[in-house]
Amino acid sequence: MFRNTARAFDALFVIAGGLLAHGARYSTAIGLEDTQRLLVAFNCALVLLLFPVFGIYETWRGKPLPTMLARVAAAWLVVVVSGLMLVFTLHRADSISRLWFVYSTLISGALILATKLIAHLLLRVARRRGLNYRTVALVGAPGFTRTLLVHLEQRAHAGFKPVCVFDTTHAERDLPHASINGLPTLADVNAFVQKVREEHINEVWLALPLSEEHTIYRFTRAFQNDFVNLRFIPDTRSLALFNHSLVDVLGLPTISLTGMPIPTPQMWPKLVFDRVLALTALTLLMPLFAVIAVAIKLNSQGPVFFRQKRKGIDGRTFDIYKFRSMTVHREAAGVVTQASQHDARVTKVGAFLRRTSLDELPQFFNVLLGQMSVVGPRPHALEHDDLYKDLVYGYMHRYRIKPGITGWAQVNGYRGATRTVEKMETRVKFDLFYIHNWSFWFDIKIVLITLVKGFVGRNAY
């Protein structure tokens, strides 16, 4: 019923867009021309036929709103282009006002998108108030089911209401506890199946490791004659560090365990922000660069800039740029000695640059070249990578995204030398938290914290 109503409204919006565009173009909404009527009718038919193919009328419950709106916009674009091709095929393009066509396309598209958005937002409000929800029973170990329950609680607007849990770690045995997060917990399969049937629970989520194929098959068999929606949510926490995404490879569904943690389209704002900020910073800071360069040359012999190989995204090496803060010296191959307090190698100017992080400013060149980001995990010397990659779990996963000038670890006080494995482990935890919870606004927050707290750090020597 709801889907048919939505389809009817979408067709009406196409007609309304044509009439309103005619009014805007000719100051009257009455009297569409023959070609205009033909195009409006054709677009109405295409909306009724193509929108279901694009999945527009499927449930949006639990799906990302931007993705669904983009799908609607893409479907409407296909309709418009198809209508335009029809007009050209019939050699009727000269009889249609270009301005009317643009107006009608924009108005109809805006009406369709706006109503979809409003309906979705109203449903979110209703679901937060306990209406229009689907009941869910969880199957899995307590640890992972608690994680899912937290997700469900944080996203109450999706309209999924957990009602019970089946604890696979105590299957067929007495439970030491009667509930998980306040929900009734069962260990007997038959009792669980009966509860799902008697309470008409809508969905059963199998939150199980990939190795639990027999358990998945058991529940699939148990509900094979029931109209309950079974979902498999693989528990892959022990296999990788990132959120796992299902991708299509050669027509086969595959779970990415260690690939790029953030989809490329989501990274576009970050990429644009990096280039704009780097170009602006380099333009404004050129006078400061000149002053620092003169101070370095007057203080000690050697080049103004210091270059060193570092790992970038996916382990690709690049030359990182810094203002030289030490006297020119040579170390043994494969050895990099971190600067320490009262280090004799650090020049007077270099000590000031290091304390204030001014020595890091040339890395905006790396950002402009696309080798680094403004915000991200700090890259370490290659020798330190070789040392810590086997000592700190998840260390190399930091290089799945571009390294940054500043980062979540740095604004939380973890900058400068890391002389113990424990300190590096803590820094890596902050870096992985950043990767797991990345958003463009998280980047902005880190930049603002960096500006507010300043660049001075007590651990920078």
Give the tens place of pLDDT for each residue, 260-314: 667 677 788 899 999 999 999 999 999 999 999 999 988 888 899 999 999 998 8
Token readout for 173 is 């045995």
C-alpha distances out from residue 154 to 150, 186, 373, Å: 6, 24, 30
How far apart, in whole angstroms, are the C-alpha atoms of residue 405 and residue 155?
A: 33
- The string of pLDDT tens digits covering residues 309-340 is 999 988 899 999 999 988 876 665 655 566 65
Domains and CATH numbers, the chain: 2-128 (no CATH), 134-239 (3.40.50.720), 264-453 (no CATH)
24: which residues sit within 8 A by CB, 6+ positions away?
103
Mean pLDDT of 211-216: 86
Query: In percent, how much of the chain has pLDDT > 90?
Result: 28
**φ and ψ at 197, to 5 degrees?**
-70, -45
- Placement of tokens 């799908």 in the chain: 71
Split at pLDDT 50, 70, 90, the class of 195 is very high
Q: Which residue has the higher pLDDT, 266 or 384?
A: 384
**Given a cut of 70, is residue 98 above it in pLDDT?**
yes
pLDDT band at 57 (very low <50, low <70, confident <90, very high): confident
Q: Looking at residues 32-50, what average pLDDT do you find?
A: 86
Question: Which pLDDT band holds residue 415 (cuts at 50, 70, 90)?
Answer: confident
pLDDT for res 461: 45
Predicted local confidence at residue 8, as pLDDT: 87
Distance CA 428, CA 438 (A): 15
Q: What is the mean pLDDT of the chain?
A: 84
Q: Is 15 exposed, middle or buried (0-12, 13-18, 19+ CB in 10 A)?
A: middle
Which two three-digit tokens encode residue 99?
A: 């301005």
The secondary structure of the chain, three-state, reads CHHHHHHHHHHHHHHHHHHHHHHHHHCCCCCCCHHHHHHHHHHHHHHHHHHHHCCCCCCCCCCCHHHHHHHHHHHHHHHHHHHHHHHHHCCCHHHCCHHHHHHHHHHHHHHHHHHHHHHHHHHHHHHHCCCCCEEEEEEECHHHHHHHHHHHHHCHHHCEEEEEEEEHHHCCCCCCCCEECCEEEECCHHHHHHHHHHCCCCEEEEECCCCCHHHHHHHHHHCCCCCCEEEECCCCCCCCCCCCEEEEECCEEEEECCCCCCCHHHHHHHHHHHHHHHHHHHHHHHHHHHHHHHHHHHHCCCCCEEEEEEECHHHCEEEEEEECCECCCCCCCCCCCCCCCCCCCECHHHHHHHHHCHHHCCHHHHHHCCCCEEECCCCCEHHHHHHHCCCCCCHHHHHHCCCEEECHHHHCCCCCCCCCHHHHHHHHHHHHHHHHCCCHHHHHHHHHHHHHHCCCCCCCC
Cβ atoms of 189 and 222 closer than 8 Å: yes
Q: Is the pTM above the cut of 0.75?
A: no
pLDDT tens digits, one per residue of 167-177: 888 755 555 55
Would you state the pLDDT for residue 333? 60
